[in-house]
Structure 1
Amino acid sequence: MKIKLLCKTPKTITFQIINENCFYLDEETEIYVNGEKELVTSKNINTIYNLIPDKEYIIFVKNSEGESNKLKVKTEFAAFILDIREFGAVGDGKTVNTFAIQTAILSAPENSIIEIRDGNYLTGPVLLKSNITINIAGNARLTALKEREMYPILPASINKADRTFYLGSWEGEPAACFASLFTGVSVNNVNITGEGTIDGNSDRETWWKDAKIKRISWRPRTIFLTDCSNINIVGINIENSPSWTLHPVFSSNLGFFDMKIRNPKDSPNTDGIDPESCKNVSIIGVKFSVGDDCIAIKSGKGKIGREIGIPSENINIENCHMEFGHGGVVIGSEMSGGIKNVNIKNCLFENTDRGLRIKTRRGRGGIIDGIHAENIVMDKVLTPFVINEFYYCDSDGKTEYVWNKDKLEITEETPVIKNITFKNMVCKNSEVCAGFMYGLPERKIERVVLENLTIDFAEDPRRDIPAMMDFIDSQSRGGFYFNNIKDLEIKNLTVKNAEGEEIIRNNVE
């Protein structure tokens, strides 16, 4: 049995118990810190909290298999520790603490910790700055104000003659939006850690009411980062987000570890983590239960996305549990800047509408290249595998240009999908369809490999359409449907108790 270090901050150490299980261990395992039993875990990814900065710790785990190797880890240095209560914050759930928290952040010397503990702190949006750690203790909660008048607005962009700095964002396009509870603009080396909770405090009377209507400005996220680097978020619980929960844009070297993200199943657009035009992103050990996609990887929409041209690349997703959501891991639909080199493994998907999902359409352009997923277990997922190049959402999604199945002219608006590999997966109690992959006739999906996949169906499956596109019939217990694919490779694919054909191929080379 082996363990390895994933992330260290001044207050936390996150490590992985190495195995091929999806999120959970086979048995409860004891964690020891400096020779003392710290806790018992059932997860592959674990964090030790409330550590002393700049101190060496020795960590190992033990169960019936024996004892693991010992990790010797020194926590990161901290210059000072600041308590927000010393700046006037009151954790009574009533006092507005925005100024106190913001003052603590701005006052913190480089490499300091801002401590939030012992209470429920009501606050509006605050801006992050570089080289700090914000630690939210397990007995602390940050609760967002409901009144949108208390939220400043981020303009879509800041402009001068030779340069545009994109600031606000909404669904893949530059747009004015409300600042988020934590907003980071061009900040580096920031940690947000702890066992505490960030509550977006949204409901049907506030941010989720008339969600598609712009009221003053577009909805905030819970955490929004733009042009940032070296950001780690560890252990935090986030709930009731106004829209996308965690949204980094144009950022790099990001780590999201051992978190819980919970939004009601019917809350609109409450995706979990949506990296957009980001590079070198790790999402490891996160548990999701949300009202939209659990993870959606994006890179801008349409002409502006292609002009900016910053892809999302080198995205690593491991040991996550997607409990509810529209999709487990989703590519698109805003992908006009390109998405490449995405690796997903050792994840558990339960009760999501789709499992692994790529969605785009004519008008997007962009290249999706290198999506690799393996060792995933799905249970009660309606359609485990979807590639849909006729995605119909948004105002232009119902046009003939999008739904037309004829071969149209190839232009810069024609998306490219290639090099997709799904292997070593078991999908239990599926309902609608084993898999649905429909490319464009003018530019077929290039190379799909399906290897060692087993799919079976629930006894009483739901009937629905397998993908969000026009002019397809609802179904249940459907097999795999392939259309407009160049180079389809299938090895050891098993579909059990399907109704009708297990595999249908049209226009497949």
Structure 2
Amino acid sequence: MEFEISAIFKRSVTIELKNSTICYTPEEYTVLIDGEEKLKTNLNVVSIDGLLPDREYSVAVEDKEGRTEKTFKTEHESFLLDVRNFGAKGDGEHDDTRFIQAAVSSCPEDGTVYFPEGTYLTGPLFLKSRMSLWIDEGAVILGDIDREKYPLLPGMIEKDDGKDEYNLSSWEGNPETSFASLITCINLENLDIFGRGTIDGNGDKGDWWKEPKLKRIAWRPKTVFLNHCRFVRLQSVTIRNSPCWTVHPYYTDDLSVYSVNIWNPSDSPNTDGMDPESCDRVLILGTRISVGDDCIAIKSGKYYMSERHHKPSDHLVIRNSFMERGHGSVTVGSEAAAGVKNVTVERCIFDGTDRGLRIKTRRGRGPKAVYDNILFRDIVMKDVHMPFTFNMFYFCDPDGHSEYVQDQNERPVDDRTPTIGTIRAENIEATGADQCMLVAYGLPENYIDNIVLRNVKVSFRPKSERKPGQTIMMDNFKEMTGKSVYARNVKRLAMDNIEIRGSDDTQTELINVIDFDSYNVVYVNNVASEF
């Protein structure tokens, strides 16, 4: 069984099998370190801990066909700093903030701050470059519920001459004053956060989820905030109960996420799992996300940030990962005024989310808000109500329901008009669809460029289990149930080798679709077929 070593940490390693299956192997296999069995699993991506720094190891994968083995050396660690030696109690009652921060501040280059088993009640922690945070199994970093203990991060600080700006925080795409996050990282590089412990934002215990759109002192904190960072890696940790977005990489490049688990209650407001915003070179591998909003939402700010600090999100890869519950499995937008391009989502399982591939934008995002070269392939969707939605009338923001945003008549193309380029979905199997297979609604003044669906099978739930719902969040758009394809204001829609089973209709509904390429589109259990 072939595999590759994806990442080597100081005390752990991540491997990924080189196969064509989605998330799982057909049969269980064994992982060995120096010939000693460490685990049996059928996951395509696994992380193995319990290693020592600066050591050479062999890692082997063994199944009934034989064994494949490789060697590696763990990374250098200068010193290990136990937070208990700095005064942290870890009893879940005493405030450990200043003791943990002392350990972080004292950590030398290539050192590791270590959390042994225990519950560490703390306010926001500010990390620094060239260090590691090791949260061991049984250790919990628990956020304080008193918002007055959270420092404020001003959204934007201007120089006296007004010629330069220093951006410290963000709220839904704008530079707004927010509370510091439980794990706050600003302008740092070469940071690792790893271990089988937990980072708990404690959002379920405080008042963070009450009146979530009301600014009280400042906007709600994230749990992990990476602001203008480089070369950051997360491995194996569980991150849960976030006050707001869970992991927010912001203007951060070279981010890698391995075997991380993100969990928030299904009814928790705006608790997106991971929101890369204006980030370049992001890898999300072997990760499981189950939250109250979008599992992954790729963003690049609103109009002001795009114009003054333009940086698109680019080169993102999401592979062998699980998206569960939530509004969207993987979403692009809508706060993406600087654009999103070159995204590949592959060999993933979407389970129980409202939408699978979710594209959303609106008038007002601007001409740099271009979504292009976005590819979904080799995806299994289970009980996803709407596998594919494309919405250019998304009614977010205070003016989201205004005539300017929601007018379905053609308006002039101007410096506020966004664009959706080419979106492709290949080798997709979706079972348990409810409201629709595909809804695509472009702007009448700027059609969606190119939607390509190839090798897609979608089956609907029985009628008795379905109910009408809001497929895309826009005004004056009808609810749907059992709908196969609705496309409006699209330059090109290509459907090749498509099977739609159990929908209420027997053909696509196309309005202002200039070029419709249809090859072997089959409706099963509904008599009609298109060729």
TM-score bracket for the superposition, by shorter chain length: over 0.9
Deviation of residue 231 (structure 1)? Answer: 0.1
2:53 matched to 1:34? no
Identity of aligned residues (%): 42
d(CA) in 2 for partners of 1:240 and 1:264? Answer: 7
Q: Aligned AA for 2:305?
A: I
Q: Is the 8 A contact 1:88 1:100 kept in 2?
A: yes
- Residue correspondence of structure 1 range 18-29 to structure 2 within 5 A: 18-29=18-29
1:438 to 412, 436, 441: 441
More deviation, 255-264/49-58: 49-58
CA change 1:498–1:88 in 2 (3 A) is: same
Q: Is the 8 A contact 2:317 2:345 kept in 1?
A: yes
* Equivalent residues of 2:325, 2:353 under 8 A apart: yes
Name the CA distance, whole Å, in 2 between partners of 1:36 and 1:294.
36
Deviations 1:94-136 (A, max 9, x none): 1111111111011011000111012111111010100001100
> 1:101 and 2:100 equivalent?
yes
1:476-500 deviation per Cα after TM superposition (whole angstroms, max 9, x unaligned): 1101111111122221111111102
Q: Which residue, 477, 483, 492 being the options, matches 1:478?
A: 483
Distance apart, 1:205 and its partner CA: 4.7
Q: Which residue of 1 aligns with 2:90?
A: 91
The reply to whether residue 397 of structure 1 matches residue 400 of structure 2 is yes
| 2:328 equivalent in structure 1 | 327
Q: Which residue number corresponds to residue 218 of structure 2?
A: 217
What is the SS of the residue equivalent to 1:173? Answer: coil
Structure 1: which 4+ aligned runs deviate by more than 3 Å? none
Q: Where does residue 120 of structure 1 map in the other structure? A: 119
Distance 2:137 2:25 in 1: 24
The one-character-per-residue Cα deviations of 1:386-438 (angstroms, maximum 9, x if unpaired) are 11001112211101111111111001210011111100000001000011011
Distance 1:51 1:204 in 2: 35
User: Whole-Å Cα distance in 1 between the matches of residues 478 and 164 of structure 2?
Assistant: 48
Map of 1:385 onto structure 2: 388
Moved more, 56-65 or 439-448: 56-65
- Residue 3 of structure 2 corresponds to 3
Counterpart contact for 1:495–1:502, Cα < 8 Å: no
Task: Give the deviation of 1:505 after TM superposition.
Answer: 1.4
Letter in 1 for 2:391: N
**What code does the residue aligned with 2:453 have?**
L
Within 5 Å, which residues of 2 pair with 1:150-165? 150-160=149-159, 161=161, 162-165=163-166
Contact kept in structure 2, 1:89 and 1:97, CA below 8 Å: yes
**Cα distance, 1:294 vs. partner?**
0.2
Task: Indicate the residue corresponding to 1:48 in structure 2.
Answer: 48
Structure 2 gaps, min length 5: 515-531
SS at match of 2:327: strand
TM-score by length of structure 1 reads 0.98
Check whether the contact 2:5–2:14 (CA below 8 A) recurs between aligned residues. yes
Q: Which residue does 1:182 correspond to in 2?
A: 183
**SS at structure 1 position matched to 2:421:** strand
Where 1:11 maps in the other structure, the secondary structure is coil
- Displacement of 1:216 in angstroms is 0.5
1:421 maps to 424
Query: Does structure 2 conserve the Cα–Cα contact (< 8 Å) formed by 1:285 and 1:319?
Result: yes
Paired amino acid for 1:481: Y
Deviation at 1:204, TM superposition (A): 6.6
Q: Which amino acid aligns with 2:318?
A: I
Alignment RMSD = 1.1
TM-score under structure 2 length normalisation: 0.94
The 8 Å contact of residues 461 and 502 in structure 2, kept in 1 or not, is answered as no
Shifted more, 241-250 versus 299-308: the winner is 299-308
Q: How many residues align?
A: 508
Q: CA deviation at 1:506?
A: 1.3
Aligned to 2:495: 490
Secondary structure of residue in 2 paired with 1:276: coil
How many Å apart are 1:11 and its aligned residue? 1.4
